[in-house]
Copies of this chain bind each other. A is one copy, B any other.
Amino acid sequence: MRVLAMLDGNLADPEGRHLRVDDLGLMRGDGVFETVLVVDGVPRELGPHLDRLERSAAMLELPVPDRAAWERCVRLVLDTWSGPSEMALKLVYTRGPEFGDGTPTGFAMGLPIGEKVLRNREAGVRAVTLERGFDPEIVSRAPWLLLGAKTLSYAVNMAALRWAEAHDAEEAIFLAADGSVLEGPTSNVVVAQGRTLRTTPPSSGILRGTTQGALFRAAEREGWVTKVEPLTLDDLTEADGLFLASSVRKITRVHTLDGKPLPDSGALHSELAALYESEYA
């Protein structure tokens, strides 16, 4: 079950051929995307996702996304979906064909959550730390590196996940050149210590997390302290719990880091998962 709607407001066959070969999204990875979790027909954090799509598009100097058109496109997928109660909704926006009329390409596609993601949500994951190569202090002075934009140029993110899978792990966590913690290839890092939740700052060149944001809102309401600040590898290994947050993962527990078991965070995971869900109750 997959549902595809183009940004022009029309449904399309998800197995059909809809893109030109000279689409710059393909030729140059020159576009942006979002993945939204939909539960029982209700998209979670759609506003923050569309906000981030707009910020990413601005960083790539793409035409400003037509928010009303995106909302209609999303609505069309939601209204057409007859699959499982949970859906991953991908929003993709590219610079369009190189030899076209300048119209960007946009579409929304709904698909079921993958088996592996569902399994990892329950069982937790093993993660490896991988060097990402840049120093956080370069972010503000080198905007051409597009750090913090969610672009289609994800070959490195995919290679990092393949590397993890080839090395007895399901996930990766990137470290900056100065050793500080960045993010997962498609997730944010959250650590819990006592009644404090911490995550790494967008100023270090990572994506602002929508799911992490929802979790922190819920946690603050329940009296947790939340901090957005640089984290070290020691912060990850010494925490009561280490988690990866993303739309489709929700809050997934890391039980093993670089081959070493972390403290049992099963009960903590249940508590945080419930906090996150309480945002949508």
Contacts and interface: CB of A to CB of B under 8 A. Distances in A.
Interface residues of A, number: 60
Q: Is the interface of A mostly helix, strand, loop or mixed?
A: mixed
A44 to B, nearest CB: 21
Contact of A152 (B12, B20, B26, B59): B26
A21 interface: yes
A172 B142 CA distance: 13
Nearest to A133: B134
A184 interface: no
Interface stretch (A28-36, A117-125, A187-195, A273-281): A28-36
Nearest to A130: B144
A25 B134 CA distance: 25
A19 B107 CA distance: 14
A143 interface: yes
A92 B26 contact: yes
A245 to B, nearest CB: 20
Contacts of A20: 14-19
Given A18-B19, A28-B152, A29-B153, A159 B177 contact: no
A24 B16 CA distance: 15
Contacts of A131: 138, 141-142, 145
A151 interface: yes
A257 interface: no
Nearest to A151: B155
Contact of A14 (B4, B21, B177): B21
A134 to B, nearest CB: 4
Contact of A21 (B107, B159, B163): B107
A217 interface: no
A251 interface: no
Given A22-B109, A30-B158, 9 more contacts: A18-B21, A19-B23, A26-B31, A28-B157, A130-B144, A131-B145, A132-B145, A134-B134, A144-B172
B14 A19 contact: no
Contacts of A28: 152, 154-155, 157-158
